[in-house]
């Protein structure tokens, strides 16, 4: 029997033989391997017996007896007590707390900023009254604060906050994500949460002591938030943690749980925050509670939650990174300030365009198409929220109550899709699979789920344009919610194309793209689509704005048509360093 090797970087079998499509191939149990058997022993001298992947694939590696492994493969968690083994369920409860705190302060923060800027504007014009006090007491902003001049100042200030946080997080997110591959997820996750904690502190200081602190201190809070990677990095690191302790076949389900927690927090957080303000008659109470929630989350992550990466995997990842840096040393910046060069800012995106050993043109095409589709879905989603509510309030004469009901219904369906429907679909179609634990790129189910989500979201946005009553408009929102399974499937599909030791680096790169979309998408949609298109067509056909938004999904539709299943990056191959010709093996792998 052949003696496959143990990969020195990720501890996986690089020569385990399996049967695919009637042909014998060798591949890593984690990243899929390459063609042709290899018999060279690993750096530790281990040689193991070959075997097929187990048919069972639990959602959490650490939830039972350790990671599902093949015979002879190192189990980093063997003999470790259950309470020290990583599992998605260790992170989900505190992550829900984290998202509820994030969602709970969104509206109060906007009201505080409006009151502070309004106070500053009228003080500069000789007004001696206190406009912020009613807001601090849980009341509404004064009608003077609704003047166009004040609203314009608030819009500019919010734009500055988004730019500061978005640009800085675009720079730091991929680097922190890459560091998490080498030093663990927990510290990086705690560091990213510290940025939101700093935002709550600066908001409290500005609102409670307006005579000592200018509203500009909130820009300082955005700066700290951006340096720490902002909320986008927190999501990416949560995905990375889930990817570490979840089999590739069940990864979309784990990512769906995190997305479900996000929407659950956005839906429940504002309700709980509003009830708290009403009970205490103090708007700052919700910020104190959010501050405590972030502190609890950071403490839990640092001191209680098990690390998802074993020390062995982190050491091997650091060694591999050192070798890669030595190979690229001539192209690295000579001074630290060179890192701020726009070209170097986008350097982390090279993970989406791998070259050299184990890569292929199809792999690069898949990665870029998946990333582009993800950016379209994310950009349209984040940029259209305000447009949808403003249109509905004007078209159907909705107030705060009707808008809140709409948001609650849509988010309930989205959470149901992520917590119930997606797990059932994945379990049904992947039952009995013998290759659930292998990194072999996305499969037919992944691609079909992505295409389904794009189709229903496109239908939903077109239905917005056709809706003549509020109920029909809400139904259109439910259709867009059914496409919510697209984002976690896209993210999980991306991670299936790369070696496990590059998960943080890849998801950090997607956080970079999301940070850029966070800056560009709302500005583009608000300025171009809404102001120009809506203003030009409001008297004739105001629904044009939704036709324009739905047409954007055409980009995602085109991208999904060219996705190829069974393509992956096998950088464990120890060949001559030339590019692997996966084009030849793709048909073989696609059959699996």
Residue 10, pLDDT > 70, answer no
Q: Are residues 92 and 203 in the same domain?
A: yes
CATH of the domain at 592: 1.20.1250.20
CA distance 221 to 510: 23
pLDDT reported for residue 63? 38
pLDDT reported for residue 456? 92
CA distance 455 to 202: 42
Helix (H) or strand (E) holding 19: strand 17-20
CA distance 269 to 278: 14
Query: How buried is residue 389: exposed, middle or buried, by Cβ count under 10 Å (0-12/13-18/19+)?
Result: middle
pLDDT reported for residue 205? 92
CA angle 189, 415, 238 (to 5 degrees): 15
Residue 310, pLDDT > 70, answer yes
Q: List CB contacts of 125: < 8 A, sequence separation 6 or more.
A: none
Q: Are residues 172 and 309 in the same domain?
A: yes
Query: How buried is residue 319: exposed, middle or buried, by Cβ count under 10 Å (0-12/13-18/19+)?
Result: middle
418's tokens: 């992520």
CA distance 400 to 414: 21
Q: What is the pTM of this model?
A: 0.71
CA nearest to 151, candidates 118, 184, 173, 195:
118
Read off the pLDDT band of 244 (50, 70, 90).
confident
Q: Are residues 450 and 511 in the same domain?
A: yes
Give mean pLDDT, residues 402-417: 84
pLDDT averaged over the chain?
75
Whether 68 is covered by a domain: the verdict is no
C-beta of residue 438 within 8 angstroms of C-beta of residue 32: yes
Whether 335 is covered by a domain: the verdict is no
62's tokens: 């650490």
Residue 23, pLDDT > 90, answer no
Higher pLDDT: 262 or 135? It is 262
Which residues form the domain of 482? Answer: 350-592
Residue 42, pLDDT > 50, answer no
CA angle 415, 420, 426 (to 5 degrees): 120
Q: Are residues 112 and 237 in the same domain?
A: yes
pLDDT reported for residue 14? 36
* Listed residues 259, 293, 328: the one ending a domain: 328
Q: Are residues 161 and 202 in the same domain?
A: yes
Whether 450 is covered by a domain: the verdict is yes
**pLDDT tens by residue, 66-77:** 344 443 345 667
Report CA-CA distances (Å) from 62 to 13, 90, 306.
20, 10, 10
Higher pLDDT: 30 or 566? It is 566
Whether 67 is covered by a domain: the verdict is no
**Total domains, the chain:** 3
Read off the pLDDT band of 365 (50, 70, 90).
very high
Query: How buried is residue 8: exposed, middle or buried, by Cβ count under 10 Å (0-12/13-18/19+)?
Result: middle
Residue 292, pLDDT > 90, answer yes
């Amino acid at each position: 029997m052949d003696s496959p090797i143990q990969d020195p970087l990720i501890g996986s079998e690089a020569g385990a033989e399996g049967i695919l499509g009637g042909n014998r191939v060798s591949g890593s149990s984690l990243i899929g391997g390459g063609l042709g058997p290899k018999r060279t022993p690993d750096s530790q001298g281990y040689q193991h017996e070959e075997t097929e992947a187990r048919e069972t694939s639990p959602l959490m590696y650490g939830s039972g007896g350790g990671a599902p492994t093949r015979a002879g493969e190192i189990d980093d968690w063997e003999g470790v007590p259950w309470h020290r083994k990583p599992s998605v369920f260790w992170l989900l409860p505190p992550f829900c707390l984290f998202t509820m705190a994030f969602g709970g302060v969104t509206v109060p923060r906007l009201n505080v900023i409006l009151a502070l800027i309004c106070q500053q504007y009228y003080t500069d014009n000789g007004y001696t009254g206190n406009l912020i006090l009613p807001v601090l007491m849980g009341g509404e902003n004064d009608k003077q604060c609704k003047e166009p001049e004040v609203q314009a100042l608030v819009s500019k200030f919010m734009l500055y906050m988004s730019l500061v946080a978005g640009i800085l997080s675009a720079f730091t997110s991929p680097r922190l994500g890459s560091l998490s591959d080498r030093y663990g997820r927990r510290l990086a996750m705690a560091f990213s949460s510290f940025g939101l904690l700093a935002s709550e502190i600066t908001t409290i200081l500005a609102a409670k002591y307006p005579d000592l602190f200018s509203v500009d201190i909130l820009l300082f809070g955005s700066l700290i938030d951006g340096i720490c990677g902002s909320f986008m990095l927190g999501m990416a690191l949560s995905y990375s943690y889930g990817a570490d302790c979840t089999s590739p076949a069940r990864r979309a389900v784990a990512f769906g749980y995190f997305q479900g927690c996000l929407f659950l927090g956005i839906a429940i957080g504002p309700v709980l925050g509003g009830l708290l303000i009403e009970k205490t008659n103090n708007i700052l109470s919700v910020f104190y509670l959010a501050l405590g929630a972030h502190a609890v989350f950071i403490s839990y992550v640092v001191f209680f939650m098990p690390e998802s990466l074993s020390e062995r995997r982190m050491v091997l990842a650091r060694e591999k990174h050192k070798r890669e840096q030595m190979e690229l040393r001539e192209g690295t910046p000579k001074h630290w300030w060179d890192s701020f060069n726009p070209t170097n800012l986008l350097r982390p995106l090279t993970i989406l365009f791998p070259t050299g050993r184990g890569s292929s043109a199809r792999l690069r095409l898949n990665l870029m198409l998946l990333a582009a589709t993800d950016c379209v879905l994310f950009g349209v989603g984040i940029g259209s929220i305000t447009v949808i509510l403003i249109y509905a309030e004007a078209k159907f004469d909705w107030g705060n109550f009707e808008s809140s009901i709409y948001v609650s219904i849509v988010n309930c369906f989205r959470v149901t899709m992520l917590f119930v429907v997606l797990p059932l679909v994945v379990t049904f179609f992947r039952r009995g699979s013998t290759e659930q634990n292998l990194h072999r790129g996305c499969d037919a189910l992944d691609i079909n789920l992505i295409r389904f989500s794009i189709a229903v979201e496109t239908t939903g946005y077109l239905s917005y344009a056709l809706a003549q009553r509020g109920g029909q408009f809400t139904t259109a929102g439910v259709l867009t919610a059914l496409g919510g399974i697209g984002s976690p499937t896209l993210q999980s599909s991306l991670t299936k194309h790369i070696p496990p030791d590059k998960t943080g680096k890849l998801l950090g790169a997607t956080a970079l793209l999301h940070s850029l979309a966070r800056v560009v998408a709302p500005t583009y949609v608000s300025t171009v689509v809404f102001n120009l298109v809506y203003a030009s067509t409001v008297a004739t056909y105001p629904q044009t704005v939704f036709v324009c938004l739905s047409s954007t999904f055409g980009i995602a539709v085109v991208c999904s048509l060219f996705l190829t299943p069974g393509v992956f990056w096998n950088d464990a191959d120890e060949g001559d360093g030339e590019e692997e010709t996966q084009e030849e093996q793709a048909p073989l792998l696609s059959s699996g």
